[in-house]
């Protein structure tokens, strides 16, 4: 059985952005992946869709949507585990008011990093396989 803890260790699979003086962890979860798939058709087409945004306003909207989605994953995990101390979700409107377009451009690197880390597989090999036949 897995031990449940209040803290969620996401450091190795997230990236951090600062919005209005507050740090937010961007985290790719299964839920976020499903939302991205609904909006873009999948993670593999996300980059193409962002690069081919018809206009600057649309591109900014998409970046704000992604930052809010990924930042809210850790907040929702916190709220799930700390029902008595919920934190408010970050909204696109807050992002638009608390950032400049230049800062959003910097956030694109954090989005990419969070997506890469979240999609990464961690494979560990064993020194001696458990099912290996005895040498004879």
CA–CA dist 92, 94 (Å, integer): 5
Tokens of 101: 């377009």
Q: Which of 65-69, 87-91, 111-115 has the lowest mean pLDDT?
A: 111-115
Question: What was the pLDDT predicted at 25?
Answer: 94
Give the pLDDT band of residue 132 (cuts 50, 70, 90). low
- For the chain, which residues make up each domain, given as ranges? 13-119
CA–CA dist 66, 129 (Å, integer): 42
Strand partners, 26: 15
The reported pTM is: 0.75
Q: Is the pLDDT of residue 120 over 70?
A: no
Q: Is the pLDDT of residue 83 over 90?
A: yes
CA–CA dist 84, 18 (Å, integer): 26
Best-predicted range by mean pLDDT (37-41, 60-64, 86-90): 86-90
CA–CA dist 82, 76 (Å, integer): 10
Question: What was the pLDDT predicted at 5?
Answer: 45
**Other Cβ atoms within 10 Å of 91 Cβ, number:** 12
CB-based contact 119:37 (threshold 8 Å): no
Q: Is the pLDDT of residue 100 over 80?
A: yes
Angle between helices 43-51 and 101-119 (to 10 degrees): 160
What's the average model confidence in pLDDT over 82-89?
A: 96
Backbone angles phi, psi at 26, to 5 degrees: -95, 125
């Amino acid at each position: 059985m897995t031990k449940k803890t209040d803290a969620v260790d996401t450091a190795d699979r997230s990236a951090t952005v600062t919005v209005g003086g507050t740090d937010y962890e961007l985290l790719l979860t299964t839920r976020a992946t499903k939302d991205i798939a609904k909006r873009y058709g999948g993670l593999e087409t996300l980059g193409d869709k962002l690069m081919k945004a018809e206009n600057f306003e649309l591109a900014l909207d998409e970046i704000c949507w992604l930052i809010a989605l990924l930042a809210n994953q850790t907040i929702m995990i916190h709220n799930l585990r700390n029902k008595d101390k919920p934190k408010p979700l970050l909204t696109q409107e807050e992002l638009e008011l608390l950032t400049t377009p230049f800062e959003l451009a910097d956030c694109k690197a954090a989005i990419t990093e969070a997506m890469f880390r979240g999609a990464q597989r961690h494979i560990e090999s064993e020194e001696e396989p458990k099912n290996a036949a005895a040498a004879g």
